Structure 1
Amino acid sequence: MTTSILPSDSDLAGLRLGEHRNTADAVDALTNAAETSTNQATEKWRHRFLALDPSERESLVMNIVLNDSSPQAARLEENLTLTFRYAITPGQEAVFYDLLRGWWTGIAVRLLDRSLESVTGNDLIVQISDIVDQLRTDTLPIDPAVLEPFSESSTGPYRSRRFVQQLSWIALDNTRLWKAIRDYHRSFTQRSFWLRHQLLSETELDRFAFQLHDEWEQIFDTRVYEMTRDGRIDVEAVGQEIFTMIAHESRAKLRDRFEAPWFNRGMFHALADGEVGEQIGWHPEFVSKLEEILSDVAS
């Protein structure tokens, strides 16, 4: 593969991918080059090529495909956009390219680690159709970065955040804690992707945050009332119950066909962080606890 252009009268032109391959001239040209070249770097390989019998040389060259005139890296986006222009809605070229590149990056890794044997043209067609579907107005695309692994070792930068403090107040176990951080990270990454590509407005996000707050409020008020009625003093356990219920029972949708439970869970943590919409929490006394933190900061 090369960005250079192979002259049409070159003896190697017959190695291009196509219906009119001519390997005979290429075998003769490569044999001549192997016999006459004085390049020391290729000497070992030229000798090995010449040691093959004629049928072996022909078989080897028949399996060589020259792909010249490949696009330069700086023009890759332009060339891909041109190739798939009929599938792309005007104004969505950048996000289409990001989604296609993200898919291909994952495919390339799987091909390299041998977890995927091959990729076909039909695989590409299916992926293009999927991207087009994700960009319709009743749903939203998943940022390829969200699909990248996120382990407990990646949670360090988030440990001092307010939503993590809120989870510590209900004594959430470590496994659920770091996975909650993962939900927040994925949600934040996804929101940034949509806003960057102008697929979502801040107003629409605010309306969604309002729906989530309403869901939380119904569950929180009910559980705190029941705790008071029953004389329970295990406030941490009640907080965990609230946290678990809201994670499992949230039905709010950002778009009609966009369903991603991890996004809703991550958005609840954004609300608990005071990042979007009205403040929420899990501990029955989270309001007074937050006021204590704010007063300590002020003093």
Structure 2
Amino acid sequence: MMSTTFSAADSALGYLYQVRVALLWSLRRAKQGGEFIVSLETLDDVTFESKGGTPKELLQAKHHRSREASLSNASADLWKSLRVWFEGYANGQIPAGTTLYLLTTGAAPKDSAAALLRSRSRDVAKALPILESVAQSSESHANAPAYAAFLAASGTARRTILDNVVVLDRASDVLTINDDLKNEVFWTAEQKHLDAFLQRLEGWWLRRVIKQLSANPEHAGILSGEIEAEMCELREQFKQDNLPIDEDVVAFTLDEETHAAHADYRFVHQLKLIDAGKKRVAAAIRDFYRAYEQRSRWVREDLLLVGDLTRYEGKLVEEWELVFEAAKDEIEATAAEAAKRKAARAVLAWAEQATIAIRPGVTEPFVVRGSFHMLADEAPPRVGWHPDFHDRLAEILNPSSTTPPEDAEGGDAR
């Protein structure tokens, strides 16, 4: 799709920037200690409140992608922010003493009002008359409502409000803010795993922000305790004896398309060989998909090495073999097919309940169950359920090269 002057890309980046900035600032405040509530799109782009609900800090986030935006004395970014704050004070929504931040990727020119409102080399007394002069003389129609709100305040009120305004220009953009975020979480995981850690933290944060924005009847703020709890949970998952389990993988439910796509897999044929019920087969496909997806992510992100998987699968095969051979010992080689399938379903039931962890802290059952089905799907399969699973699979997958034995129960081997 060709971009146009009406492209929504800049707006979309602006909203994403706002979400990432909110996370960055929340992490910094959490590190300082003390409880707070953070919300987006309430009193301001980002609002920080005390535990009691009193606004303490309001943040306007301005993102520019294609040009070096100038925070000049008549810039729209500056005056839109001032309008929000002056109107908020006028209607009583913003209490006195609330700190007002304007964070922008743009730059404040030397000696401009915005430059004089930075945290360093600050001179509010010099910035005030500059803004008053612009509001009284500018002919900008776009800024007119902001000028009106500014001039409606008394001289004393203007000075009081500006005393609380802090301009933070030349801020990191939506991409480079990633480095700032990594700096805040650098102590949570090994250096090589920080990207994977941050990806999961931001995924949780985005879901939480969506929940906050969609809450009815009012936006429910995000508690600092929630952020600390999620950080603690992720830290545990990234320890050497653990691995992260992704929420979207756990939440995956089998759909018809995925079910159909796996219908001819070896592990599914193995289940049909022993008359596993439809729901049991569906659960196996679900766990196979979950385990395959989660294990693939671990390998891609260097959280798990191929050698680790090889050792784990070796352990699974070794444990399975003990149970499988024990089940075979309990039935005669000439046993009826029904008896063989019953014994096979018992082996499968053991695999479904097994607690053989890939690492001590990984307790999600689908990892074990799905890994067994992955081994049952290899060519040739490394595990199986039916006592004669190698031969029976060959009959199913290569029917032209074998002559199936007559089924003892009068049915086929499937």
TM score, norm. by length of structure 1: 0.73
**Equivalent position to 1:220, from 297, 312, 324:** 324
Cα pair distance change 1:171/1:135, threshold 3 Å: same
How big is the shift at 1:83? 2.4
- Between the aligned partners of 1:240 and 1:112, the Cα distance in structure 2 is 49
Cα pair distance change 1:149/1:252, threshold 3 Å: closer
- Between the aligned partners of 1:152 and 1:236, the Cα distance in structure 2 is 28
**Native 8 Å contact 1:102 1:144 kept in 2:** no
**Equivalent position to 2:347, from 217, 236, 242:** 242
Cα pair distance change 1:112/1:245, threshold 3 Å: farther
Is 1:93 aligned to 2:197, yes or no? no
Deviation track 1:110-148 (CA, whole Å, cap 9, x = no partner) reads: 334439933223322332233222222112222344234
- Between the aligned partners of 2:375 and 2:267, the Cα distance in structure 1 is 8
Is 1:102 aligned to 2:203, yes or no? yes
Is 1:204 aligned to 2:308, yes or no? yes
Q: Which is further off, 213-222 or 102-111?
A: 102-111
Higher helix share: 1
State the AA in 1 paired with 2:212.
L
Query: What does residue range 91-170 of structure 1 map to in structure 2 within 5 Å?
Result: 91-114=192-215, 117-155=220-258, 156-170=260-274
Task: Please identify the structure whose Cα radius of gyration is greater.
Answer: 2
Any unmatched runs of 5+ in structure 1?
none
How big is the shift at 1:67? 8.4
State the AA in 1 paired with 2:355.
R
Give the aligned partner of residue 4 of structure 1.
106
**Native 8 Å contact 1:216 1:246 kept in 2:** yes
**Native 8 Å contact 2:270 2:386 kept in 1:** yes
State the AA in 1 paired with 2:292.
F
Cα pair distance change 1:8/1:179, threshold 3 Å: farther
Q: Percent identity?
A: 26
Any unmatched runs of 5+ in structure 2?
1-60, 63-104, 403-414
State the AA in 1 paired with 2:180.
N
Higher strand share: 2
Cα pair distance change 1:251/1:38, threshold 3 Å: closer
Query: What does residue range 1-299 of structure 1 map to in structure 2 within 5 Å?
Result: 1-2=61-62, 3-5=105-107, 37-39=140-142, 71-114=172-215, 117-155=220-258, 156-228=260-332, 233-248=338-353, 250-274=354-378, 279-293=382-396, 295-296=398-399
Please report the RMSD computed on the Cα atoms of aligned residues, expressed in angstroms: 4.4
- Between the aligned partners of 1:174 and 1:105, the Cα distance in structure 2 is 37
- Between the aligned partners of 1:216 and 1:102, the Cα distance in structure 2 is 37
- Between the aligned partners of 2:274 and 2:170, the Cα distance in structure 1 is 61
Cα pair distance change 1:7/1:271, threshold 3 Å: same
Cα pair distance change 1:244/1:88, threshold 3 Å: closer
User: How many residues are treated as equivalent by the alignment?
Assistant: 287
How big is the shift at 1:81? 0.8
Cα pair distance change 1:254/1:169, threshold 3 Å: same
Q: Which is further off, 223-232 or 238-247?
A: 223-232
Higher relative contact order (CA 8 A, sep 6+): 1
Cα pair distance change 1:121/1:237, threshold 3 Å: same
**Native 8 Å contact 2:269 2:393 kept in 1:** no
